[in-house]
Structure 1
Amino acid sequence: MYIVTNTTKIKKNEAHKLIERFDKVGQIESMEGFIDLEVLETKKLRDHDEVVIVTRWEDEASFKGWMKSDAFKNSHKHEGEGKRPDFILDNEIGFYEVKVVRRAVARVS
């Protein structure tokens, strides 16, 4: 499994503006190799908000397919124009290959 995170620093009290963009079905859900997407809001920050978008893929090739797709280009149009929403201060992308997964075990009552 391959995981990509987009950690976005946002103006204080404006995290909801980014979160709302992900609160609907988009084109990523139909991409080959896509597993799921989570939107996390970091808590207890003083000076800014932070939202982390986590996408899980079957493998790196599936993620790269998304990056090259028209669906990706359409959903990131503002970036191609050199623009980003004014509430976004900064962002950082992380790439991870999953090495170990542990699951809860069934509990006997």
Structure 2
Amino acid sequence: MIMVENRIEVKPGTADLVLDRFRKPKSVHTFKGFVRMDVLHSVNEAGNEEIRVCTTWESEDDFRAWSESDSFRSAHARRAAAAQEKGERQDGPIIGNKVTIYQVVASHLPAETAAAKEAASS
């Protein structure tokens, strides 16, 4: 299992413009191997806002299949076109981003959830 973190740094006061894109499920949620998505928000030491979009996948191959898909490309193209239509500057609120892929070494659930899961698999 892997977790992919997209750390997006945005200008102060503009996080909601980016966070709104993640409030409702998109096609990524329908892809083979997709496990979950968590969207996190904070302010970094420079005073800029950070959004971390963390997706968990059954395998790196599943993640790559999504990131190389027509669905991925068209969603990102639509967002750029919508921003242009609204007259937003090309650079918009985003200062930069960094994608990191992590191997999930351990994942802990509440005890009652883990016990129920174990009982169901027996």
Superposition TM-score tier, normalisation by shorter sequence: 0.7 to 0.9
Q: Who is 1:77 aligned against?
A: 77
Deviation digits for residues 17-61 of structure 1 (CA, Å, limit 9, x no counterpart): 110001112110110100111110014655211100000101111
Alpha-carbon distance in 1 for matches of 2:105, 2:44: 30
**How many equivalent pairs are there?**
105
Q: Who is 2:86 aligned against?
A: none
| Unaligned residue ranges in structure 2 (runs of 5+) | 84-90, 113-122
Alpha-carbon distance in 2 for matches of 1:36, 1:29: 8
Please report the RMSD computed on the Cα atoms of aligned residues, expressed in angstroms. 2.4
Between Structure 1 and Structure 2, the one with more helix by share is 2
Query: Does 70-79 or 35-44 show the bigger shift?
Result: 70-79
Identity %: 26
Whichever of the two has the greater Rg, that structure is 2
Runs of 4+ in 1 over 3 A off after TM superposition: 43-46, 78-81
Give TM-score, length-normalised by structure 1: 0.84
Alpha-carbon distance in 1 for matches of 2:44, 2:33: 34
Query: Does 25-34 or 72-81 show the bigger shift?
Result: 72-81
Q: Who is 1:86 aligned against?
A: 92
Give TM-score, length-normalised by structure 2: 0.76
| Unaligned residue ranges in structure 1 (runs of 5+) | none
The 5 Å alignment of 1:6-17 reads 6-17=6-17
Deviation at 1:75, TM superposition (A): 1.4
